[in-house]
Chain A
Amino acid sequence: GENVEQHPSTLSVQEGDSAVIKCTYSDSASNYFPWYKQELGKGPQLIIDIRSNVGEKKDQRIAVTLNKTAKHFSLHITETQPEDSAVYFCAASTGTASKLTFGTGTRLQVTL
């Protein structure tokens, strides 16, 4: 089955700096890669996603890149703000309405 690895497990950046979180996946059939933000005591909230026919996608301060050959994808957050502090999860799935396999999460701390 699919295995998703995520690094780093914790990341501390100063406000205004960029943050990068990386994930690798094992199943070449995976074609959908969402990123979720989870705040304390809440459910995962989708922040951006990318499909395998696209190499990069951007939404304001957030971007995701995908390298299908290397089987890795990354989340980039620019101009970080304190409200970006949360746990971020990457995930992968193999098709429509298929299960999501999650990474182990990255705790991002944005300090003033």
Chain B
Amino acid sequence: DARVTQTPRDKVTEMGQEVTMRCQPILGHNTVFWYRQTMMQGLELLAYFRNRAPLDDSGMPKDRFSAEMPDATLATLKIQPSEPRDSAVYFCASGRDDNEQFFGPGTRLTVL
């Protein structure tokens, strides 16, 4: 049963610290998405990649967030420095060109 995996599942950190979230997409999927979920804003698209190339990161605060795909089996989302307003659940999803996206379980980030 192929699934998207995300690590860590929970992260508590202090303001100013670097946070790295990792995602392993489903094997064979060529598109990876990062979403953020908060009570106030709901689910928002942060960035996505196709064939490891960044396509759109307009939803991401550029000064502190960065997203990369070092290889086809790993996507990372980094926040440096983290701030309390970054507290949210971060979801990774993967898919192919048919637009059906499969979501991981999420990383719950708490910045104190």
A and B co-occur in one complex: no
Chain A: residues with CB nearer than 8 A to chain B?
none
Chain B: residues with CB nearer than 8 A to chain A?
none
